[in-house]
Amino acid sequence: MSTSSDQNVINAAPTTHAKLAAWVEEVAALTKPDRVYWVDGSVEENDRLTAELVEAGTLVKLTDPNFPNSYAGASDPKDVARVEERTFICSKKEEDAGFTNNWEDPEKMKSMLNGLFDGSMRGRTMYVIPFVMGPLNADEPAYGVEISDSAYVVASMRIMAKIGNEVLRKMEAEEAFFVPALHSVGAPLEPGQEDVTWPCNEDKWIVHFPEERAIMSYGSGYGGNALLGKKCYSLRIASVMARDEGWLAEHMLILKLISPQNKAYHIAAAFPSACGKTNLALLDPTIEGWKTETLGDDINWMRIGKDGELRGVNPEYGLFGVAPGTGWSTNPNAMRAITKGNSIFTNVALTDEGGVWWEGMTDETPAHLIDWLGNDWTPESGRPAAHPNSRFCTPIDQVDMLSEDYFSPNGVKIDAILFGGRRKTTIPLVTEARSWTNGIFMGSTLSSETTAAASGATGVIRRDPMAMLPFIGYNAGDYLNHWDKISAKLNPEQMPKIFLVNWFRRNAEGGFAWPGFGDNSRVLKWAIERIEGTADAKETIIGNVPTGEALDISGLENFTPADVEAAVAVNKDEWATEVEGIEEWYANFGDALPVSLRAELDGLKARLNA
């Protein structure tokens, strides 16, 4: 492959950042790429790299004018989601990784990985991607440098983070700390060997060294496995930084809700992967007079402000959203952002017009498509055209409803926190926590059916504390204690109110008990009215739920107060089973379980048995 990157010879490090230059040199000596290329982040560079990706067959350029300057590609069918069973937290001590993480001794792991990385970039270009998560004008910008042998990763990181020269210049002026994030698809090319369109390796390793704040990822080119600024840095490594520095790195969207009285509220919501964060973040309210703006759809870094309030910042610059189910009727804000272009789609279907399609995008299904596997597809094919974890990668500033506060390094004051999962039964549509601690209990016992966002079986119920199960970079018991410590530092007057939600409950007919999507604004309205003390609630053993009349269902066709009551019903038999599940879950923590949470469980049991 002859590229304009050829002039970039190994070891010609164009930086005065001594540590960075040394690391790049060390990695190049290990991985033995044909060339080293420092990513500048420019438009010309992106045009060149995407053209190379088209040439290589990894991407196609879309020709449908509805998707300007956009590309689509298909991954290897064995590389379509995060691989949790191949993800490791290699703290020095095993107990510091805790029972929720895979662990290996860091020195052992490193020597094994060094073996895999030895020569792993042969025949390829090694890209050096300086990046920052969150604002570059933050007090201490969260710098990282990803080294990757995938141009697809470079093009995707360019959407998801601020990358390139601007970042590098500021980082070197400060001789700043950066998270070294090493990535290789693990597919060296021998001389004369032809490349495949999606190089990867069956052997995959997503490894974190929390004490060093370092990441090594091998074998996968997809999503959170490979775009290392996202889950690896902004959640797993950042959660460790947050523990050490007294803040929270959480798997949450941030949404601004404006009432008809023009009062603004900020809502943070933690749902597991593929359980509705991006959709709620881009909510189009279906109720009169309420407006929304978005700040983030996946990650929320929360620090304690000077009045003892929680302030949230979204460290990402793009959306990496689940494509199926994102449609003109369910999520028009996302569709408007996507159709402004400048996007990369992975594992979606291609239309005959040179555009993309996925299940749920439009009401009408196209008569013919090329499915994500490259085969002809018609509605009669009897299989999905897009992979269930297919994704759109789109710059966040293309979202019309993006809040101006998104650009503020101080973030926004969080007024309410929602914890939610995907549960067919048991969990009501919405429950207001009895207290802050009761809300932390709800978060710590959150459960959800597994989805296609991670490899493995889907539809299996598992506990997912604060939707962080796959992302806590340290001991989960310490994590719950850290929440406890942060709670103690908050001004009680400023504490967000906490709610448990479930958009996915089923009704007696097997359909969804709640219409969801834009109508979730009705649930948010009730939550705000609870904050203001103006909405009615019914006390239950688990917390307060709306009465049939308290939830605004005006204009909702075929939906009655009785349907509300069914959607929020608390069934004692179901909760008896649930409490057993919570007992089992909590048993994993042993003595590390905060006493406040044990007391919450005891209280729930007492109310259940009363």
Ligand X SMILES: O=C([O-])CC(=O)C(=O)O
- List active site positions: 275
223 is in an annotated binding site: yes
Q: Using the rule CB under 6 A, is 273 a contact of ligand X?
A: yes
- Which residues in the 275-314 window bind ligand X by CB under 6 A? 298
Please list every residue from 98 through 157 that binds Mn ion, using CB under 5 A. none
Q: CA 600 to CA 569: how far, in whole Å? A: 21
Residues facing residue 300 across a β-bridge: 250
| Residue whose C-beta lies closest to ligand GTP | 325
Q: Which residues are bridge partners to 412 per DSSP?
A: 312
The residues in 171-230 that bind ligand X, with binding defined as CB under 6 A, are: 223-224, 230
- Contact string (CB under 5 A) for Mn ion, positions 343-362, x = contact: --------------------
Check binding of 453 to ligand GTP (CB under 6 A): yes
Phi, psi of 429 (to 5 degrees): -50, -45
| 527 touching ligand X, by CB under 6 A | no
Residues of 474-485 as b/e, b for ≥16 C-beta within 10 angstroms?
bbbbbbbbbbbe
Closest CB 320 distance from ligand X, rounded Å: 5
CA distance 334 to 319: 9
517 binds, among ligand X, Mn ion, ligand GTP, none (CB under 5 to 8 A by kind): ligand GTP
Order across the sheet with 497-501: list the strands: 291-296, 252-258, 264-270, 416-420, 497-501, 430-432, 544-546, 537-539
Instruction: In angstroms, give the least distance from the CB of 226 to Mn ion.
Output: 17
Residues in Cβ contact with 257 at an 8 Å cutoff, skipping those fewer than 6 apart = 264, 265, 266, 267, 290, 291, 292, 521, 524, 528
CA 316 centroid distance within chain: 10
- Min dist CB 88 to ligand GTP, Å, is 21
**C-alpha–C-alpha distance, residues 58 and 514, integer Å:** 40
Distance CA 508, CA 352 (A): 40
The site string for ligand GTP over 474-493 (x = CB under 6 A, - otherwise) reads --------------------
What distance in Å separates the CA atoms of residue 277 and residue 293, rounded to the nearest whole number?
14
**DSSP bridge partners of 319:** 394
**Residues in 282-311 that interact with ligand GTP by CB under 6 A:** 297-298
Q: Does 278 bind Mn ion (CB under 5 A)?
A: yes
| Contact set for ligand X, span 80-119 (CB under 6 A) | 82
Residue 585 contact among ligand GTP, Mn ion, ligand X, none, beta carbon within 5 to 8 Å by kind: none
Token couple for 484? 């406890």
- Closest contact distance (angstroms) between CB of 298 and ligand X is 6
Contacted entry of Mn ion, ligand GTP, ligand X, none for residue 377, CB cut-off 5 to 8 Å set by kind: none
Q: Please count the helices (runs of H) and the strands (runs of E) in the chain.
A: 15, 31
State which residue, 24 or 472, has the beta carbon closest to ligand X. Answer: 472
Residues that bind ligand X (CB under 6 A): 82, 223-224, 230-231, 273, 298, 320, 453
Which residues are at the interface with ligand GTP (CB under 6 A)? Answer: 271, 273-279, 297-298, 321-322, 324-325, 330, 453, 503-504, 512, 516-517, 520
